Amino acid sequence: MLERFRVPPAEAVRVPYEALCQTVTEIFVACGVPSQEAAAGADVLATADLRGVESHGVSNSLRYYVSAFRAGDLNPRPCWTIDRETAGTATIDGDRGLGVLQGTAAMQLAIDKARRAGVGVVTMRNSGHLGAVGHFAMQAADQDMVGVCLTSTSPQVLPTFGAVPRFGTNPISFAAPAKREPVLFYDAATSTIATNKIGLARRVGAPLAPGWIADPAGTPVMAEGPVPEGEGVRMSGHQLLPLGSTREMGSHKGYGLALMVEVMTTMLAGSIPTMIDDVRPMAHHYFAAYDVAAFTDLDAFKETMDQMLQTLAATPPAPGHDRVIYPGLIEHETAIERRANGIPLHREVVAWFDSCTEELGLVRLERL
């Protein structure tokens, strides 16, 4: 997370991780979600905040989930069905459930399949927002597997040279187990930035960097500037660019990766990409687990992982930089600090919690 997205200390209210989990669980239950799924989903959101991934924590997403449950757009008690299944794969109809609440069980199915077939792949259609997809990749790493999780959503990212968005931010996440080092853990949109960063930048008053968005005609904006007019994550007419920003810098690569995610999540789940049919847009997900022990010696793998992560962190830095980090290291350090000192939420977010719990007749969110 870039510094520009941090909640300014004067605006921050610190809350304990456990209290955040508790309140979010109660909010989901009040929306009609069974308590086990509610707790799993609360962990997905609160863990994102714990790791410093504010863009995918409670601040941007929870209010929309609550609205969607109350409007009947999401099903709080989905009964998923498996369309097709083999030793290593399953295709699931998510019955309009919320991905955040369904992902843990879907990744566990992939993990269980990988125990037998070496690799397990589960796709899911007709589901809602999945939250921080890296959470589910980490679930596999916690069980000595390499995990990969992908999701796709409604169009807001331009293809290279295009003026109309065709893709969601279609993130790629993966995680792999180590022995003593903090887990290797990657989770990033295939666009230059995740959609929720727009909402965050607007809230904290941060500018957008060169190459992040295109103007309404589709031309990349290559100068720093304020978030365009709009509300929340929406920007009137402007769109996100694929990773690489311009063709010369490699935007065709970000575009191609977004397309790969679209195929793996939507089409392998037997669904229609939202660029073709967005009448009833749902998200589509992909969960994969690779059983390390099926490929090689597990202990040797973890030892080598430790060595590789140490080698990366020991890389001599370029001028102007203190150190080289690897994906997951900052998140690990942030989680330690926030477990001790609480999670800093923007006071506007805490105010939303208070109005939400009051309306639902729940106990107010605890603060430190």
Cβ-based nearer residue to its own copies, 12 or 312: 312
Cβ-based nearer residue to its own copies, 204 or 267: 267
Instruction: Return the structure tokens found at 15.
Output: 């809350």
For residue 64, the minimal CB distance to its own copies (Å) is 25
Q: Which stretch binds its own copies (CB under 8 A): 38-46, 65-73, 309-317, 340-348?
A: 309-317
What part of residues 159-188 is at the interface with its own copies (CB under 8 A)?
159-164, 166, 172, 174, 176, 184, 186, 188
Contact 90, 119 (CB under 8 A): no
Which one, of 8, 40, 4, 6, lies nearest residue 24 by Cα? 40
Q: Which stretch binds its own copies (CB under 8 A): 73-81, 225-233, 308-316, 355-363?
A: 308-316
For residue 340, the minimal CB distance to its own copies (Å) is 26
Cβ-based nearer residue to its own copies, 79 or 217: 217
Q: Does the footprint of its own copies cover residue 294 (CB under 8 A)?
A: yes
How many binding residues for its own copies (CB under 8 A)? 94
- Candidate list 324, 332, 357, 362; residue touching its own copies; CB under 8 A: 324
Q: Which stretch binds its own copies (CB under 8 A): 35-43, 65-73, 322-330, 354-362?
A: 322-330
* Contact mark string toward its own copies, 198..227, x via CB under 8 A: -----------xxx--x--xxx--------
- The DSSP output letter for 54 is G
Which one, of 116, 23, 17, 127, lies nearest residue 79 by Cα? 127
Q: Does the footprint of its own copies cover residue 252 (CB under 8 A)?
A: yes
- Candidate list 158, 183, 240, 365; residue touching its own copies; CB under 8 A: 158
Which long-range contacts does 356-363 make (Cβ < 8 Å, 24+ apart)? 356/27, 356/63, 356/66, 357/23, 357/26, 357/27, 360/26, 360/27, 360/30, 361/30, 362/23, 362/26, 362/27, 362/30, 363/23, 363/26
- Candidate list 12, 105, 204, 267; residue touching its own copies; CB under 8 A: 267
What part of residues 7-46 is at the interface with its own copies (CB under 8 A)?
none
- Candidate list 5, 65, 136, 255; residue touching its own copies; CB under 8 A: 255
Q: Does the footprint of its own copies cover residue 318 (CB under 8 A)?
A: yes
Which one, of 168, 172, 237, 250, lies nearest residue 211 by Cα? 250
**C-alpha separations of 61 from 22, 45, 130, 293, 323 in Å:** 17, 9, 10, 37, 32
Q: Measured between alpha carbons, how far is 131 from 145 in angstroms, rounded to an integer?
A: 21
Q: Tell me, what amino acid is at 346?
A: H
For residue 312, the minimal CB distance to its own copies (Å) is 6
What part of residues 68-127 is at the interface with its own copies (CB under 8 A)?
83-84, 86-89, 91, 116-121, 123
- Give the rounded distance of the alpha carbon of 254 from its chain centre: 17
- The DSSP output letter for 205 is T
Helix (H) / strand (E) element for 89: namely strand 89-97
Cβ-based nearer residue to its own copies, 292 or 345: 292
Q: Measured between alpha carbons, how far is 88 from 152 in angstroms, rounded to an integer?
A: 22
